């Protein structure tokens, strides 16, 4: 069998490593949006498939037995293509989706539907904004001339950016101590993030809780259309069941 794992997430790498160690032929597909991605074990391909039809043709050509979509919770396009390609080819598809973050005591969270709504909300909460929502969505904030933004991303972002912005390039995981230091150093009074889930980047939420900083959280998009599990172990069991 050949298993295709979609995504450059920590869960995707863990799944590929587990399957590779078991002798299961696995190929990981990365979008190629990060200049120096952390490569998983096993075979790796980088780039798109040319839409759902191209994806379906590729699955048939490569004789893929099963697909595990372990992409980022906000990678809507590739997940939709995977659902369509699975239906067209009959190749089984599983979604590996880590649980979202849960608001706890002391958290001041403001849930929004998308980055456009986040841009409307943040000026009502503060004027020194920490943007951790990814470089591809920065255009949603480019029209805000009043607030100052600290923008954190892995690779340098492309315009448009907010006129008052400082960019810091960094890759997680982060610690609560380092996040506290960053928030205090820059006088941050609002955080903007997507509900990515997982412990890899959750330290900023704990830091905001400690400092009483409000957090604007973008809800996850609907990712229905495929069976879903929340853990790598469950995904491994699903794959081995197909064998």
pLDDT, tens only, 124-153: 999 999 999 988 899 999 999 999 999 999
Q: What is the pLDDT of residues 72-86, one digit of tens each?
A: 999 889 999 999 999
Res 179: pLDDT: 98
Interatomic CA distance for residues 148 and 150, integer angstroms: 7
Does pLDDT of 224 surpass 80? Answer: no
For 165-176, what is the mean pLDDT? 94
Secondary structure of residue 5 in the 3-state scheme: strand
Average pLDDT, the chain: 94
Place of tokens 């990814």: 134
Contact 34, 63 (CB under 8 A): no
Domains of the chain: 3-99+221-242 (3.40.50.720), 109-218 (3.40.50)
Res 243: pLDDT: 65
pTM over 0.75, yes/no: yes
Q: CB atoms < 10 A from the CB of 91, how many? A: 19
Kindly state the helix (H) or strand (E) to which residue 54 belongs, with its residue range. helix 51-61
């Amino acid at each position: 069998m050949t298993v295709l794992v979609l995504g450059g997430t920590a869960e995707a790498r863990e799944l590929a490593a587990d399957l590779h160690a078991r002798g299961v032929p696995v190929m990981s597909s990365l979008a190629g949006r990060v200049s120096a991605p952390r490569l998983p074990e096993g075979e790796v391909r980088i780039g798109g498939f040319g839409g759902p039809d191209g994806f379906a043709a590729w699955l048939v050509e490569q004789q893929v037995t099963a697909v595990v979509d372990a992409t980022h919770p906000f990678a809507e396009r590739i997940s939709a293509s995977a659902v369509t390609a699975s239906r067209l080819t009959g190749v089984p598809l599983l979604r590996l989706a880590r649980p979202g973050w849960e608001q706890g005591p002391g958290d001041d969270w403001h849930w929004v539907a998308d980055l456009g709504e986040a841009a409307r909300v943040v000026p009502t909460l503060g004027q020194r904004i920490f943007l951790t929502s990814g470089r591809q969505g920065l255009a949603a904030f480019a029209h805000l001339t009043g607030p100052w933004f600290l923008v954190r991303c892995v690779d340098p972002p492309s315009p448009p950016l907010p006129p008052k912005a400082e960019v810091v390039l960094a890759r997680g995981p982060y610690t609560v101590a380092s996040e506290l230091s960053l928030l205090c150093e820059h006088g941050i009074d609002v955080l903007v993030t997507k509900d990515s889930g997982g412990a890899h980047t959750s330290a900023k939420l704990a830091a905001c809780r400690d400092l009483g900083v409000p957090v604007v959280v973008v809800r996850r998009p609907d990712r229905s259309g495929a069976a879903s599990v929340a853990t790598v172990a469950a995904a491994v069991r699903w794959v081995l069941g197909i064998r």
